[in-house]
């Protein structure tokens, strides 16, 4: 082999090596760029997740600090079926009161017996499928004529298929023996369940 052929062969080998290095550099830089982009996207997601976690911790702390407000809100919000029952009870009691000549001052459906069921929902009752109970306290305006109060109680008791009296509280009027003060009536109301 002569010197010219050897120099051309070396030159070709060097050019092939430079081409291989350039191609490998090009593909390596593309691969690294893709990895950098993927890493940056993961970093951005991690930063967003970290911010979300920080916000959630702040909200959880706020809820913990304002637990009494949360509890009050849960007592205010009620199931629409519960309202339906309460509306019917109020309507019936107002009709009985008007017929007896007494005036209803207020209703209390937060009777502790209601709280035995979740959310104050009607409880299973009587062992009869589909029948549940709600407890309520009806407060009458004072003073009340005792005979009118008895007529009111009788109207409730005559409606035994829907409700029954569980308790009565009253204070005698010292100035007028035919009247009573602060009368309340505890009720157990039977309603159709699901």
Q: What is the CATH number of domain 78-192?
A: 3.30.70.60
Instruction: For the chain, give every domain's residue range.
Output: 3-68, 78-192
Q: Which residue has the higher pLDDT, 28 or 115?
A: 28
CA angle at residue 74 from 71 to 77, to 5 degrees? 150
What pLDDT is attached to residue 26?
93
Select, from the ranges 13-22, 103-112, 145-154, 171-180, the one with the highest average predicted confidence (pLDDT): 13-22
Residue 192: the pLDDT is: 66
From the list 112, 115, 136, 113, the residue with the least C-alpha distance to 186 is 136
pTM: 0.49
Helix or strand run (H / E) with residue 140: strand 131-140
Residue (of 83, 70, 77, 97) closest to 159 by Cα position: 97
């Amino acid at each position: 082999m002569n010197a010219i052929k050897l120099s051309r062969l070396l030159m070709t080998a060097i050019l092939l090596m430079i081409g291989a290095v350039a191609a490998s550099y090009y593909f390596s830089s593309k691969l690294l760029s893709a990895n950098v982009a993927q890493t940056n996207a993961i970093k951005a997601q991690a930063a967003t997740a970290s911010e979300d976690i920080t916000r959630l911790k702040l909200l959880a702390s706020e809820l913990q600090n304002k637990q009494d407000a949360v509890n009050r809100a849960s007592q205010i919000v009620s199931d629409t079926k519960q309202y339906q029952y309460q509306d019917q009870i109020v309507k019936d009691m107002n009709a009985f009161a008007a017929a007896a000549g007494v005036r209803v001052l207020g209703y209390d459906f937060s009777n502790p017996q209601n709280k035995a069921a979740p959310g104050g929902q009607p409880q299973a009752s009587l062992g009869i499928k589909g029948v549940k109970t709600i407890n309520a306290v009806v407060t009458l305006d004072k003073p009340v004529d005792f005979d009118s109060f008895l007529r009111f109680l009788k109207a409730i008791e005559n409606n035994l298929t829907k409700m029954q009296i569980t308790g009565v509280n009253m204070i005698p009027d010292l100035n007028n023996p035919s009247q009573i003060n602060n009368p309340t009536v505890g009720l157990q109301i039977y309603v159709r369940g699901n």
